[in-house]
Structure 1
Amino acid sequence: MNAPKAKKIKKILEIHGDTRVDDYFWMNERENPEVTEYLNLENAYCDLIMKETEAFQQQLFDEMKARYKEDDQSLPYFFNKYWFIVRFEKGKEYPVFSRKFQTLENKEEILLDVNILAEGEKFFEVGSVAVSPDNRLMSFSSDNIGRRIYTISFKNLETGEVFGDQITNTTGKAVWANDNRHVFYTRKDENLRAFQIYRHELGTDCEKDVLVFHEEDETFDVSLFKTKSLEYIFIASSSSVSDEMRFIPANDVSAEWTLVQPRTDDLEYSVEHYGDEFYIITNADGATNFKIVKTKVSNPGIENWVEVIPHRKETLLEGFEIFKDYLVLEERTEGLLHIKIIENHTGNSHYLKFSDPTYTAYISLNLEFDTAKLRFGYTSLTKPSSTLEYDMKEETTMILKEHEVLGGKFFAENYISERVWAPSRDGKNSIPISIVYHKDTKKSAETPLLIYGYGSYGHTVDASFSNVRLSILDRGFIYAIAHIRGGEYLGREWYENGKMLQKKNTFYDFIDAAKYLIAENYTSEKHLYAMGGSAGGLLMGAVINYEPQLFNGIVAQVPFVDVVTTMLDETIPLTTGEFDEWGNPKKKKYYDYMKSYSPYDNVEAKNYPNMLITTGLHDSQVQYWEPAKWTAKLRELKTDDNLLLFKTDMSAGHGGASGRFESLKEDALEYAFILKLENKIDGK
Structure 2
Amino acid sequence: MTEQTTSAPAAARRPAPRTHHGDTFEDPYEWLRAKEDPEVIAHLEAENAYTEQRTSHLDALRDRLFQEVKGRVQETDLSVPTRQGGWWYYGRTEEGSQYGIQCRTAASGDDWTPPKLIPGEPVPGEQVLLDGNVEAEGHEFFSLGAFDVSDDGTRMLWSVDVEGDELYTVHARDLETGADFDDVIENTAQAFFTPDGTAVLYTTRDEAWRPDTLWLHRLGTPVAEDVKLFHEPDERFWLGAGITRSKKYLVVEMGSKITSEAHLFDFADLTAGGQVIWPRRDGVEYEIDHAVIDGEDVLYVLHNDGALDFELVAVPASDPQGERRVVLPHTPGRRILEVDCFRDFATVEYRREGLGRIALLSYGDDVLDELEFDEPLYSSWFSGNPEWHAPLLRMGYVSFITPSTVMDLDVATGERLVRKQQAVLGGYDPADYDQRRLWATAEDGAQVPISLVWRRSFGEPGAEPRPVHLYGYGSYESSMDPGFSPMRLSMLDRGVVFAIAHVRGGGEMGRHWYDDGKMLRKRNTFTDFVACAQHLVDAGVTTPDRMIAEGGSAGGLLMGAVANLAPELFAGILAEVPFVDALTSILDPSLPLTVVEWDEWGDPLHDPEVYRYMKSYTPYENIRPDAAYPPILAITSINDTRVLYVEPAKWVAALRFAGADEVLLKCEMAAGHGGVSGRYNAWRERAFALAWMLDRFGLAD
Q: TM-score band, normalised by the shorter chain?
A: over 0.9
What does residue 176 of structure 2 align with? 158
* 1:85 corresponds to which of 67, 85, 90: 90
What does residue 10 of structure 1 align with? 15
* 1:47 corresponds to which of 40, 52, 68: 52
What does residue 555 of structure 1 align with? 574
Partner of 1:440: helix, strand, or coil? Answer: helix
Opposite residue 136 of structure 1, the aligned amino acid is T
Partner of 2:562: helix, strand, or coil? Answer: helix
Determine if contact 1:177/1:251 at 8 Å carries over to the other structure.
no
Determine if contact 2:265/2:273 at 8 Å carries over to the other structure.
yes
Opposite residue 304 of structure 1, the aligned amino acid is E
User: Cα offset for 1:114?
Assistant: 1.1
Output aligned runs, 1:548-627, within 5 Å. Answer: 548-586=567-605, 587-605=607-625, 606-627=627-648
* 1:220 corresponds to which of 234, 237, 242: 237
Q: What is the rounded CA distance, in whole Å, between the counterparts of 1:383 and 1:353 in structure 2?
A: 16
Q: What is the rounded CA distance, in whole Å, between the counterparts of 2:271 and 2:201 in structure 1?
A: 12
Is 1:253–2:270 an aligned residue pair? yes
Q: What is the rounded CA distance, in whole Å, between the counterparts of 2:415 and 2:74 in structure 1?
A: 29
Q: What is the rounded CA distance, in whole Å, between the counterparts of 1:102 and 1:472 in structure 2?
A: 43
Q: Deviations over 1:244-288 (max 9, x none)?
A: 111222232322211111111111111111123343343343111
Determine if contact 2:465/2:540 at 8 Å carries over to the other structure.
no
Partner of 2:680: helix, strand, or coil? Answer: coil
* 1:117 corresponds to which of 132, 135, 144: 135
What does residue 634 of structure 1 align with? 655
Output aligned runs, 1:94-113, within 5 Å. Answer: 94-103=99-108, 104=115, 106-113=124-131
Partner of 1:274: helix, strand, or coil? Answer: strand
Work out the percentage of aligned pairs sharing the same amino acid: 39
Is 1:134–2:125 an aligned residue pair? no
Determine if contact 2:299/2:320 at 8 Å carries over to the other structure.
no
User: Cα offset for 1:230?
Assistant: 1.0
What does residue 177 of structure 1 align with? 194
Output aligned runs, 1:160-559, within 5 Å. Answer: 160-171=178-189, 173-275=190-292, 276-301=296-321, 303-408=322-427, 410-427=428-445, 429-442=446-459, 443=461, 446-559=465-578
Alpha-carbon RMSD across the aligned residues, in angstroms, is: 1.4
Q: What is the rounded CA distance, in whole Å, between the counterparts of 1:321 and 1:180 in structure 2?
A: 23
Determine if contact 1:221/1:237 at 8 Å carries over to the other structure.
yes
Q: What is the rounded CA distance, in whole Å, between the counterparts of 1:373 and 1:158 in structure 2?
A: 29
Structure 1-normalised TM-score?
A: 0.97
Opposite residue 403 of structure 2, the aligned amino acid is P
Q: What is the rounded CA distance, in whole Å, between the counterparts of 2:90 and 2:274 in structure 1?
A: 34
Greater CA drift, 480-489 or 179-188 = 179-188
Determine if contact 2:229/2:273 at 8 Å carries over to the other structure.
no
Determine if contact 1:455/1:483 at 8 Å carries over to the other structure.
yes
Q: Deviations over 1:91-131 (max 9, x none)?
A: 10111111112245751111111111101110001101111
Determine if contact 1:281/1:290 at 8 Å carries over to the other structure.
no
Opposite residue 339 of structure 1, the aligned amino acid is I
Determine if contact 1:274/1:322 at 8 Å carries over to the other structure.
yes
Q: Deviations over 1:72-93 (max 9, x none)?
A: 1111000111111111112101
User: Cα offset for 1:213?
Assistant: 1.3
User: Cα offset for 1:518?
Assistant: 0.6
Q: Deviations over 1:205-260 (max 9, x none)?
A: 11221212111100001011000111111111111111111122223232221111
Is 1:661–2:666 an aligned residue pair? no
Q: What is the rounded CA distance, in whole Å, between the counterparts of 2:394 and 2:290 in structure 1?
A: 19
Partner of 1:184: helix, strand, or coil? Answer: strand
Q: What is the rounded CA distance, in whole Å, between the counterparts of 1:486 and 1:479 in structure 2?
A: 21
Determine if contact 1:289/1:316 at 8 Å carries over to the other structure.
yes
Partner of 1:120: helix, strand, or coil? Answer: coil
What does residue 34 of structure 2 align with? 29
Structure 2-normalised TM-score?
A: 0.94
User: Cα offset for 1:400?
Assistant: 1.2
Determine if contact 1:233/1:250 at 8 Å carries over to the other structure.
yes
- Aligned length in residues: 676
Residue segments in structure 1 that go unaligned for 5+ positions in a row? none
Q: What is the rounded CA distance, in whole Å, between the counterparts of 2:483 and 2:425 in structure 1?
A: 18
Determine if contact 2:477/2:507 at 8 Å carries over to the other structure.
yes
Determine if contact 2:301/2:315 at 8 Å carries over to the other structure.
no
Greater CA drift, 501-510 or 340-349 = 340-349
Residue segments in structure 2 that go unaligned for 5+ positions in a row? 1-5, 109-114, 116-122
Partner of 1:554: helix, strand, or coil? Answer: strand
